[in-house]
Chains A and B, each alone.
Chain A
Amino acid sequence: MKAPRFSYVRPESLERVLELLAEHGDEARILAGGQSLMPTLNMRLSEPRLLIDINRIDALKGISLEDGTVRVGALARHAELLDSPLVAEHLPLIAAAMPHVAHVAVRNRGTFGGSIALADPAAELPACAVALDAAFVLASLRGRRTVPARSFFHGLYETELAEDELLVEARIPALAAGYRSSFLEFARRHGDFALAGICCHARIDGAVLSDVRLACFGSEDRPRFAGAASAAAEGRAWSGEVKEAVKAALGGDLDPIGNFHASAATRLHLARVLAGRALDRMAAAG
Protein backbone atom coordinates (compact mmCIF):
# COMPACT_ATOMS: atom_id res chain seq x y z
CA MET A 1 0.00 0.00 0.00
CA LYS A 2 0.95 3.64 -0.20
CA ALA A 3 1.55 5.99 2.70
CA PRO A 4 -1.17 8.51 3.53
CA ARG A 5 -0.56 12.19 2.85
CA PHE A 6 1.65 14.05 5.28
CA SER A 7 3.85 17.09 5.37
CA TYR A 8 7.59 16.80 5.62
CA VAL A 9 10.23 18.99 7.16
CA ARG A 10 13.97 18.57 7.42
CA PRO A 11 15.22 20.90 10.13
CA GLU A 12 18.86 21.95 10.15
CA SER A 13 19.27 22.16 13.92
CA LEU A 14 18.35 20.23 17.03
CA GLU A 15 16.75 23.38 18.44
CA ARG A 16 14.38 23.55 15.47
CA VAL A 17 13.43 19.86 15.90
CA LEU A 18 12.52 20.53 19.52
CA GLU A 19 10.47 23.58 18.54
CA LEU A 20 8.56 21.54 15.98
CA LEU A 21 7.96 18.76 18.51
CA ALA A 22 6.72 21.29 21.06
CA GLU A 23 4.40 22.79 18.47
CA HIS A 24 3.01 19.61 16.90
CA GLY A 25 3.32 17.00 19.67
CA ASP A 26 1.56 13.77 18.85
CA GLU A 27 0.58 14.99 15.37
CA ALA A 28 4.23 14.73 14.34
CA ARG A 29 6.56 11.74 14.05
CA ILE A 30 10.33 11.77 14.09
CA LEU A 31 11.80 10.20 10.96
CA ALA A 32 15.22 8.71 11.74
CA GLY A 33 16.12 5.49 9.89
CA GLY A 34 12.47 4.96 9.04
CA GLN A 35 12.82 1.18 9.08
CA SER A 36 9.85 0.74 11.40
CA LEU A 37 8.01 4.01 10.78
CA MET A 38 7.85 3.61 7.00
CA PRO A 39 6.18 0.16 7.12
CA THR A 40 3.52 1.53 9.48
CA LEU A 41 2.93 4.43 7.07
CA ASN A 42 2.84 2.17 4.00
CA MET A 43 0.32 -0.05 5.76
CA ARG A 44 -1.54 2.99 7.08
CA LEU A 45 -1.23 1.85 10.65
CA SER A 46 -0.25 5.40 11.54
CA GLU A 47 -1.26 8.70 9.95
CA PRO A 48 0.88 11.52 11.28
CA ARG A 49 0.29 15.02 9.95
CA LEU A 50 3.98 15.84 9.88
CA LEU A 51 7.25 13.93 9.54
CA ILE A 52 10.28 15.61 11.07
CA ASP A 53 13.35 14.22 9.33
CA ILE A 54 16.33 14.37 11.71
CA ASN A 55 18.79 12.60 9.39
CA ARG A 56 20.95 15.64 8.69
CA ILE A 57 21.46 16.83 12.24
CA ASP A 58 25.12 16.32 13.03
CA ALA A 59 24.66 16.72 16.79
CA LEU A 60 22.80 13.40 16.80
CA LYS A 61 25.49 11.44 14.99
CA GLY A 62 28.56 9.47 15.98
CA ILE A 63 29.93 7.04 18.53
CA SER A 64 32.65 8.17 20.93
CA LEU A 65 34.37 7.25 24.18
CA GLU A 66 34.52 9.83 26.95
CA ASP A 67 35.79 9.03 30.47
CA GLY A 68 34.80 5.37 30.49
CA THR A 69 31.41 6.03 28.92
CA VAL A 70 30.48 5.33 25.33
CA ARG A 71 28.24 7.97 23.82
CA VAL A 72 26.07 6.57 21.06
CA GLY A 73 24.31 9.28 19.08
CA ALA A 74 20.65 8.64 18.30
CA LEU A 75 21.44 8.66 14.58
CA ALA A 76 24.23 6.07 14.76
CA ARG A 77 23.20 3.51 12.15
CA HIS A 78 23.13 -0.19 12.95
CA ALA A 79 25.81 -0.75 10.30
CA GLU A 80 28.04 1.79 12.09
CA LEU A 81 27.64 -0.04 15.39
CA LEU A 82 28.36 -3.35 13.69
CA ASP A 83 31.57 -2.07 12.08
CA SER A 84 32.79 0.13 14.94
CA PRO A 85 36.11 -0.96 16.53
CA LEU A 86 35.17 1.19 19.52
CA VAL A 87 31.95 -0.77 20.05
CA ALA A 88 33.78 -4.07 19.55
CA GLU A 89 36.31 -3.15 22.26
CA HIS A 90 34.16 -1.30 24.79
CA LEU A 91 30.64 -2.65 24.23
CA PRO A 92 31.17 -6.31 23.30
CA LEU A 93 27.56 -7.13 24.23
CA ILE A 94 26.27 -4.76 21.56
CA ALA A 95 28.92 -5.97 19.11
CA ALA A 96 27.65 -9.52 19.63
CA ALA A 97 24.02 -8.45 19.22
CA MET A 98 24.41 -6.40 16.05
CA PRO A 99 24.70 -9.26 13.52
CA HIS A 100 21.25 -10.36 14.74
CA VAL A 101 19.67 -6.96 14.14
CA ALA A 102 17.64 -7.15 10.92
CA HIS A 103 19.32 -7.49 7.53
CA VAL A 104 22.05 -5.61 5.68
CA ALA A 105 19.84 -3.10 3.86
CA VAL A 106 17.89 -2.36 7.05
CA ARG A 107 21.08 -2.02 9.11
CA ASN A 108 22.39 0.51 6.60
CA ARG A 109 19.48 2.85 7.42
CA GLY A 110 18.13 1.85 10.84
CA THR A 111 19.37 3.84 13.82
CA PHE A 112 20.25 3.10 17.42
CA GLY A 113 17.97 5.86 18.69
CA GLY A 114 15.11 4.69 16.52
CA SER A 115 15.31 1.19 17.94
CA ILE A 116 15.37 2.49 21.52
CA ALA A 117 12.60 5.05 21.03
CA LEU A 118 10.35 2.56 19.23
CA ALA A 119 10.76 0.02 22.05
CA ASP A 120 9.82 -3.07 20.11
CA PRO A 121 9.78 -5.81 22.76
CA ALA A 122 11.60 -8.23 20.47
CA ALA A 123 14.40 -5.83 19.56
CA GLU A 124 17.96 -6.51 20.68
CA LEU A 125 19.26 -3.04 21.50
CA PRO A 126 16.76 -2.09 24.23
CA ALA A 127 17.66 -5.27 26.14
CA CYS A 128 21.40 -4.64 25.66
CA ALA A 129 20.88 -1.14 27.10
CA VAL A 130 19.10 -2.60 30.13
CA ALA A 131 21.83 -5.19 30.78
CA LEU A 132 24.57 -2.58 30.42
CA ASP A 133 22.86 -0.03 32.68
CA ALA A 134 22.80 2.53 29.88
CA ALA A 135 21.21 5.93 30.33
CA PHE A 136 19.29 7.85 27.69
CA VAL A 137 19.48 11.61 27.24
CA LEU A 138 16.09 13.11 26.36
CA ALA A 139 15.80 16.68 25.14
CA SER A 140 12.92 19.10 24.79
CA LEU A 141 12.49 22.86 24.93
CA ARG A 142 11.93 22.35 28.66
CA GLY A 143 15.49 21.08 28.99
CA ARG A 144 17.40 17.84 29.14
CA ARG A 145 17.03 14.86 31.41
CA THR A 146 18.81 11.53 31.73
CA VAL A 147 16.77 8.37 32.21
CA PRO A 148 18.20 4.96 33.13
CA ALA A 149 17.38 2.23 30.58
CA ARG A 150 15.73 0.14 33.28
CA SER A 151 13.02 2.74 33.83
CA PHE A 152 12.74 3.95 30.22
CA PHE A 153 10.69 1.09 28.77
CA HIS A 154 7.10 1.17 29.98
CA GLY A 155 5.43 -1.44 27.79
CA LEU A 156 4.61 -2.36 24.21
CA TYR A 157 6.03 0.55 22.18
CA GLU A 158 5.60 2.68 25.32
CA THR A 159 8.51 4.62 26.77
CA GLU A 160 9.37 7.43 29.12
CA LEU A 161 9.58 9.85 26.15
CA ALA A 162 7.05 12.67 26.34
CA GLU A 163 5.38 13.98 23.17
CA ASP A 164 7.73 16.94 22.97
CA GLU A 165 10.91 15.00 23.73
CA LEU A 166 13.62 13.63 21.46
CA LEU A 167 16.05 10.86 22.36
CA VAL A 168 19.39 12.53 21.71
CA GLU A 169 21.93 9.91 22.74
CA ALA A 170 22.71 6.96 24.95
CA ARG A 171 25.49 6.93 27.50
CA ILE A 172 26.71 3.41 28.09
CA PRO A 173 29.40 2.39 30.60
CA ALA A 174 32.36 0.95 28.72
CA LEU A 175 33.47 -2.57 29.55
CA ALA A 176 35.29 -2.47 32.87
CA ALA A 177 38.22 -4.67 33.86
CA GLY A 178 37.13 -8.20 34.76
CA TYR A 179 33.74 -7.92 33.06
CA ARG A 180 32.42 -10.04 30.24
CA SER A 181 29.31 -10.09 28.11
CA SER A 182 27.38 -12.77 26.31
CA PHE A 183 24.47 -12.53 23.89
CA LEU A 184 22.18 -15.21 22.43
CA GLU A 185 18.85 -15.21 20.67
CA PHE A 186 16.57 -17.64 18.92
CA ALA A 187 14.81 -16.53 15.73
CA ARG A 188 13.21 -18.57 12.97
CA ARG A 189 15.26 -16.85 10.27
CA HIS A 190 18.52 -14.96 10.62
CA GLY A 191 17.77 -11.29 11.22
CA ASP A 192 14.12 -11.77 12.11
CA PHE A 193 12.75 -10.68 15.44
CA ALA A 194 13.69 -13.15 18.14
CA LEU A 195 11.23 -15.51 19.80
CA ALA A 196 13.47 -15.21 22.84
CA GLY A 197 16.81 -13.64 23.56
CA ILE A 198 19.18 -12.99 26.43
CA CYS A 199 21.82 -10.40 27.26
CA CYS A 200 24.33 -11.22 30.03
CA HIS A 201 26.83 -8.91 31.59
CA ALA A 202 28.83 -9.67 34.72
CA ARG A 203 32.14 -9.46 36.46
CA ILE A 204 33.91 -12.78 36.49
CA ASP A 205 36.82 -13.58 38.79
CA GLY A 206 38.07 -17.11 38.31
CA ALA A 207 34.69 -18.73 37.95
CA VAL A 208 32.92 -16.47 40.45
CA LEU A 209 30.26 -14.17 39.03
CA SER A 210 29.35 -10.81 40.50
CA ASP A 211 27.37 -7.72 39.47
CA VAL A 212 25.38 -10.15 37.30
CA ARG A 213 22.93 -8.51 34.93
CA LEU A 214 20.64 -10.65 32.80
CA ALA A 215 18.10 -9.04 30.51
CA CYS A 216 15.56 -10.90 28.40
CA PHE A 217 13.77 -9.77 25.26
CA GLY A 218 11.19 -11.20 22.90
CA SER A 219 9.23 -12.73 25.76
CA GLU A 220 7.15 -9.92 27.20
CA ASP A 221 5.87 -6.47 26.26
CA ARG A 222 9.26 -4.87 27.03
CA PRO A 223 12.87 -5.84 27.71
CA ARG A 224 12.99 -7.36 31.17
CA PHE A 225 15.79 -7.10 33.70
CA ALA A 226 15.85 -10.59 35.20
CA GLY A 227 16.52 -9.67 38.83
CA ALA A 228 15.86 -13.08 40.40
CA ALA A 229 17.91 -14.99 37.83
CA SER A 230 20.75 -12.48 38.16
CA ALA A 231 20.66 -12.83 41.96
CA ALA A 232 20.75 -16.63 41.65
CA ALA A 233 24.21 -16.39 40.08
CA GLU A 234 25.50 -13.49 42.18
CA GLY A 235 28.67 -14.26 44.12
CA ARG A 236 28.71 -17.89 43.08
CA ALA A 237 31.16 -19.96 41.08
CA TRP A 238 29.57 -20.99 37.79
CA SER A 239 28.50 -24.64 37.88
CA GLY A 240 25.74 -26.94 36.71
CA GLU A 241 23.98 -26.35 40.00
CA VAL A 242 24.08 -22.56 39.64
CA LYS A 243 22.88 -22.87 36.07
CA GLU A 244 19.83 -24.81 37.22
CA ALA A 245 19.20 -22.16 39.89
CA VAL A 246 19.36 -19.38 37.29
CA LYS A 247 16.99 -21.23 34.97
CA ALA A 248 14.55 -21.90 37.80
CA ALA A 249 14.66 -18.27 38.97
CA LEU A 250 13.96 -17.04 35.46
CA GLY A 251 10.46 -18.45 35.85
CA GLY A 252 9.88 -15.81 38.53
CA ASP A 253 11.27 -12.97 36.41
CA LEU A 254 9.40 -13.69 33.21
CA ASP A 255 5.75 -13.97 32.40
CA PRO A 256 6.04 -14.48 28.62
CA ILE A 257 3.26 -13.59 26.23
CA GLY A 258 2.33 -16.41 23.88
CA ASN A 259 1.11 -15.91 20.33
CA PHE A 260 1.02 -17.91 17.11
CA HIS A 261 4.81 -17.62 16.74
CA ALA A 262 5.46 -19.39 20.05
CA SER A 263 3.51 -20.19 23.19
CA ALA A 264 4.35 -18.64 26.56
CA ALA A 265 5.76 -21.98 27.74
CA THR A 266 7.99 -22.26 24.67
CA ARG A 267 9.32 -18.74 25.16
CA LEU A 268 10.12 -19.37 28.82
CA HIS A 269 11.82 -22.63 27.88
CA LEU A 270 13.88 -20.86 25.19
CA ALA A 271 14.84 -18.04 27.56
CA ARG A 272 16.02 -20.58 30.14
CA VAL A 273 18.06 -22.57 27.65
CA LEU A 274 19.59 -19.41 26.19
CA ALA A 275 20.44 -18.01 29.65
CA GLY A 276 22.19 -21.23 30.60
CA ARG A 277 24.17 -21.33 27.37
CA ALA A 278 25.05 -17.65 27.44
CA LEU A 279 26.44 -17.94 30.98
CA ASP A 280 28.26 -21.16 30.03
CA ARG A 281 29.97 -19.28 27.23
CA MET A 282 30.82 -16.36 29.44
CA ALA A 283 32.38 -18.60 32.09
CA ALA A 284 34.28 -20.59 29.45
CA ALA A 285 35.63 -17.52 27.67
CA GLY A 286 38.27 -16.92 30.33
Chain B
Amino acid sequence: MQEFIDIALTVNGEPVSRRVEARQHLVDFLRNELGLTGSHLGCEHGVCGACTVRVDGAVVRGCLMLAVQADGADVWTVEGLSDSGGIADLQEAFIARNALQCGYCTPGMLLTAAEMLEAGRRMTRTEIRAFLSGNFCRCTGYHAIVDAIGTVMERRFGG
Protein backbone atom coordinates (compact mmCIF):
# COMPACT_ATOMS: atom_id res chain seq x y z
CA MET B 1 0.00 0.00 0.00
CA GLN B 2 1.90 2.95 -1.30
CA GLU B 3 1.39 6.42 -2.67
CA PHE B 4 4.50 6.09 -4.87
CA ILE B 5 5.20 3.00 -6.93
CA ASP B 6 8.03 1.94 -9.24
CA ILE B 7 6.83 0.93 -12.67
CA ALA B 8 8.49 -0.44 -15.81
CA LEU B 9 6.75 -0.45 -19.15
CA THR B 10 7.31 -0.04 -22.87
CA VAL B 11 6.28 3.22 -24.50
CA ASN B 12 6.40 3.44 -28.29
CA GLY B 13 8.72 0.47 -28.32
CA GLU B 14 11.19 1.92 -25.79
CA PRO B 15 11.60 0.55 -22.25
CA VAL B 16 10.78 3.12 -19.55
CA SER B 17 11.09 2.95 -15.74
CA ARG B 18 9.86 5.61 -13.34
CA ARG B 19 8.56 6.10 -9.83
CA VAL B 20 5.01 7.40 -10.13
CA GLU B 21 2.43 8.76 -7.77
CA ALA B 22 -0.48 6.34 -7.42
CA ARG B 23 -2.99 9.02 -8.31
CA GLN B 24 -1.29 10.01 -11.57
CA HIS B 25 -3.22 8.91 -14.63
CA LEU B 26 -1.56 7.52 -17.71
CA VAL B 27 -1.78 10.62 -19.89
CA ASP B 28 -0.31 12.92 -17.25
CA PHE B 29 2.50 10.40 -16.98
CA LEU B 30 3.07 10.36 -20.74
CA ARG B 31 2.87 14.14 -21.05
CA ASN B 32 4.58 15.32 -17.88
CA GLU B 33 7.11 12.59 -17.19
CA LEU B 34 7.97 11.51 -20.73
CA GLY B 35 7.26 14.72 -22.65
CA LEU B 36 4.92 12.94 -25.04
CA THR B 37 2.41 15.75 -25.44
CA GLY B 38 0.62 14.30 -28.46
CA SER B 39 -2.01 12.69 -26.22
CA HIS B 40 -4.34 15.46 -25.10
CA LEU B 41 -6.52 16.03 -22.09
CA GLY B 42 -9.95 17.37 -22.88
CA CYS B 43 -12.52 16.52 -20.26
CA GLU B 44 -10.41 14.31 -18.00
CA HIS B 45 -13.41 12.18 -17.12
CA GLY B 46 -13.68 9.80 -20.01
CA VAL B 47 -16.15 11.57 -22.25
CA CYS B 48 -14.17 13.31 -25.01
CA GLY B 49 -11.60 10.76 -26.22
CA ALA B 50 -8.76 13.30 -26.75
CA CYS B 51 -6.55 11.22 -24.43
CA THR B 52 -6.95 7.96 -26.37
CA VAL B 53 -3.82 5.79 -26.27
CA ARG B 54 -3.14 2.15 -27.11
CA VAL B 55 -2.38 -0.19 -24.23
CA ASP B 56 -1.52 -3.83 -24.94
CA GLY B 57 -3.01 -3.58 -28.41
CA ALA B 58 -6.32 -1.89 -27.58
CA VAL B 59 -7.32 1.77 -27.34
CA VAL B 60 -8.17 3.08 -23.87
CA ARG B 61 -9.02 6.37 -22.25
CA GLY B 62 -5.65 7.54 -20.97
CA CYS B 63 -7.35 9.66 -18.31
CA LEU B 64 -9.26 6.66 -16.93
CA MET B 65 -6.26 4.45 -16.34
CA LEU B 66 -3.61 5.04 -13.71
CA ALA B 67 0.01 5.14 -14.76
CA VAL B 68 0.72 2.46 -12.15
CA GLN B 69 -1.76 0.17 -13.92
CA ALA B 70 0.40 0.37 -17.04
CA ASP B 71 3.22 -1.39 -15.17
CA GLY B 72 4.43 -4.08 -17.58
CA ALA B 73 2.24 -2.84 -20.40
CA ASP B 74 3.02 -2.01 -24.02
CA VAL B 75 1.85 1.57 -24.59
CA TRP B 76 1.64 3.39 -27.91
CA THR B 77 0.86 7.06 -28.43
CA VAL B 78 0.32 9.09 -31.56
CA GLU B 79 4.04 9.93 -31.59
CA GLY B 80 5.02 6.27 -31.84
CA LEU B 81 2.35 5.37 -34.36
CA SER B 82 3.32 8.37 -36.43
CA ASP B 83 7.06 7.58 -36.35
CA SER B 84 6.39 3.95 -37.22
CA GLY B 85 4.85 5.04 -40.53
CA GLY B 86 1.97 2.65 -39.90
CA ILE B 87 -0.68 5.35 -40.09
CA ALA B 88 0.94 7.59 -42.72
CA ASP B 89 -1.88 6.94 -45.19
CA LEU B 90 -4.44 7.78 -42.51
CA GLN B 91 -2.67 11.03 -41.66
CA GLU B 92 -2.48 11.98 -45.35
CA ALA B 93 -6.18 11.24 -45.78
CA PHE B 94 -7.01 13.46 -42.77
CA ILE B 95 -5.09 16.32 -44.40
CA ALA B 96 -6.54 15.71 -47.87
CA ARG B 97 -10.10 15.59 -46.53
CA ASN B 98 -9.71 18.54 -44.14
CA ALA B 99 -10.57 16.20 -41.28
CA LEU B 100 -9.16 18.59 -38.69
CA GLN B 101 -9.14 22.26 -37.85
CA CYS B 102 -7.65 22.92 -34.43
CA GLY B 103 -6.28 19.38 -34.22
CA TYR B 104 -6.97 18.88 -30.53
CA CYS B 105 -9.02 15.73 -31.06
CA THR B 106 -6.85 14.43 -33.90
CA PRO B 107 -4.42 12.18 -31.96
CA GLY B 108 -7.39 10.42 -30.36
CA MET B 109 -9.19 10.18 -33.69
CA LEU B 110 -6.09 8.65 -35.32
CA LEU B 111 -5.63 6.09 -32.53
CA THR B 112 -9.28 5.04 -32.72
CA ALA B 113 -9.20 4.98 -36.51
CA ALA B 114 -6.04 2.85 -36.40
CA GLU B 115 -7.87 0.28 -34.26
CA MET B 116 -10.76 0.36 -36.71
CA LEU B 117 -8.37 -0.37 -39.59
CA GLU B 118 -7.00 -3.36 -37.71
CA ALA B 119 -10.30 -5.12 -38.28
CA GLY B 120 -8.93 -5.46 -41.82
CA ARG B 121 -12.15 -4.72 -43.67
CA ARG B 122 -14.19 -1.88 -45.07
CA MET B 123 -16.91 -0.57 -42.82
CA THR B 124 -20.08 1.31 -43.66
CA ARG B 125 -20.30 4.98 -42.71
CA THR B 126 -22.69 3.99 -39.94
CA GLU B 127 -20.17 1.49 -38.56
CA ILE B 128 -17.37 4.05 -38.74
CA ARG B 129 -19.52 6.58 -36.90
CA ALA B 130 -20.44 4.06 -34.21
CA PHE B 131 -16.78 3.16 -33.72
CA LEU B 132 -15.85 6.85 -33.48
CA SER B 133 -18.73 7.73 -31.18
CA GLY B 134 -16.45 8.02 -28.17
CA ASN B 135 -14.25 10.68 -29.76
CA PHE B 136 -15.45 14.28 -29.84
CA CYS B 137 -14.53 16.85 -32.46
CA ARG B 138 -15.77 20.39 -31.82
CA CYS B 139 -14.51 22.01 -35.04
CA THR B 140 -15.23 20.18 -38.27
CA GLY B 141 -17.96 17.85 -37.27
CA TYR B 142 -17.45 14.25 -38.23
CA HIS B 143 -18.24 14.10 -41.92
CA ALA B 144 -14.70 14.78 -43.13
CA ILE B 145 -13.22 12.42 -40.54
CA VAL B 146 -15.53 9.60 -41.66
CA ASP B 147 -14.58 10.43 -45.27
CA ALA B 148 -10.88 10.18 -44.46
CA ILE B 149 -11.21 6.84 -42.68
CA GLY B 150 -13.45 5.51 -45.44
CA THR B 151 -10.88 6.54 -48.05
CA VAL B 152 -8.11 4.63 -46.27
CA MET B 153 -10.31 1.53 -45.90
CA GLU B 154 -11.04 1.67 -49.61
CA ARG B 155 -7.34 1.96 -50.46
CA ARG B 156 -6.22 -0.70 -48.03
CA PHE B 157 -8.99 -3.23 -48.42
CA GLY B 158 -10.24 -2.55 -51.94
CA GLY B 159 -13.38 -1.09 -53.44
Contact = CB atoms under 8 A, between A and B. Distances in A.
Interface string B36-67: 00000000111001001000001111011110
Interface in B84-138: 112, 115, 129-131, 133-135
Contacts of B23: 2-6, 41
A109 B65 contact: yes
Contacts of A1: 44
A50 B3 CA distance: 9
A99 B59 CA distance: 16
Contact of B61 (A2, A35, A55, A189): A35
A82 B21 CA distance: 34
A39 B115 CA distance: 24
B5 interface: yes
A51 B22 contact: yes
A264 interface: no
Nearest to B68: A8
Chain B interface category by residue count:
20 to 34
A109 B64 contact: yes
A79 B58 contact: yes
Interface residues of A, number: 34
A105 interface: yes
Given A6-B3, A39-B45, A105 B28 contact: no
B137 to A, nearest CB: 13
B52 A105 contact: yes
A191 B28 CA distance: 26
B134 A104 contact: yes
B141 to A, nearest CB: 14
A106 B44 CA distance: 13
A140 B64 CA distance: 27
B46 A8 contact: no
A103 B49 contact: yes
Contacts of A7: 1-3, 22
A3 B60 CA distance: 18
Given A7-B2, A103-B135, 12 more contacts: A2-B44, A3-B23, A7-B1, A34-B66, A38-B45, A42-B45, A51-B22, A51-B66, A79-B58, A99-B130, A105-B61, A105-B112
Interface of A: 1-10, 31, 34-35, 38-39, 41-43, 50-51, 53, 55, 79, 99, 102-106, 108-109, 189-191
Interface of B: 1-3, 5, 21-23, 25, 28, 44-46, 49, 52, 58-61, 63-66, 68-69, 112, 115, 129-131, 133-135
12 contacts: A5-B22, A7-B3, A9-B1, A10-B68, A34-B64, A35-B46, A39-B46, A55-B69, A104-B112, A105-B52, A105-B61, A106-B61
